[in-house]
Amino acid sequence: MEFKSIFSVTGADHSDEDLTTAAGLCAEVGAHLSVLIIPPPLLLMSSPPPEWDTGRAQAIAVPNYRFQQIERFSRDVTRMERRSADILKRLKAMSLSCDVDTDYCDPASLGEVARQRALCADLTIVGGDLLNDETLGPPVVNGCLFDSGKPVLIVPKGV
């Protein structure tokens, strides 16, 4: 079977080992590499503020907590953009046909995002870093392997 496009998912804080494996395979078969970067712990929203008469201190603290969430989100997006640029630079230096994209999604739609991307590729590579990630690994593997119907190559860590 000939593969013209290969899809790989990595976390924003994962090592480059998974990408090196995917890039090596793409260089061997002359395929296009599509990389998706997903952040680690995602932004979780807190419960609505309590009534004024039952928790004034909590109600005052809610905006401060929201500002902290927004700052964390901004830092995550900046870190993902930086990682995206670094990965793209590395892959272009290897003279590979590639595209690198980032997606900041909630945990419930992570599998669906991976499935949609896997449908557009001939093969999905899941590396050891993603397999060992308890947050990102299971939904991505489920979306790519079971929901897309496309072949998935699972590469354990250290291979």
pLDDT the model gives residue 152: 94
Where do we find the tokens 């397999």?
Answer: 131
Higher-confidence position of 29 and 54? 29
Mean pLDDT of 93-109: 88
The predicted model scores a pTM of: 0.81
pLDDT the model gives residue 43: 46
β-pair partners for 8:
35, 125
Choose among 97, 63, 98, 101: nearest CA to 83. Answer: 101
Q: How many CB atoms lie within 10 A of CB 114?
A: 29
β-pair partners for 34:
7, 99
* Domain 7-42+55-154: assigned CATH number: 3.40.50.620
Q: Is the pLDDT of residue 44 over 60?
A: no
Query: Each residue of 118-148: b (16+ CB within 10 Å) or e?
Result: beebbbbbbbbbbbebeebbebbbbbbbeeb
Q: Is the pLDDT of residue 101 over 70?
A: yes
Mean pLDDT taken over the chain: 85
pLDDT the model gives residue 109: 87
Q: Is the pLDDT of residue 113 over 60?
A: yes
Terminal Cα-to-Cα distance of the chain (whole angstroms): 22
Q: At 136, is the pLDDT very low, low, confident or very high (cuts 50, 70, 90)?
A: confident
Mean pLDDT of 39-45: 59
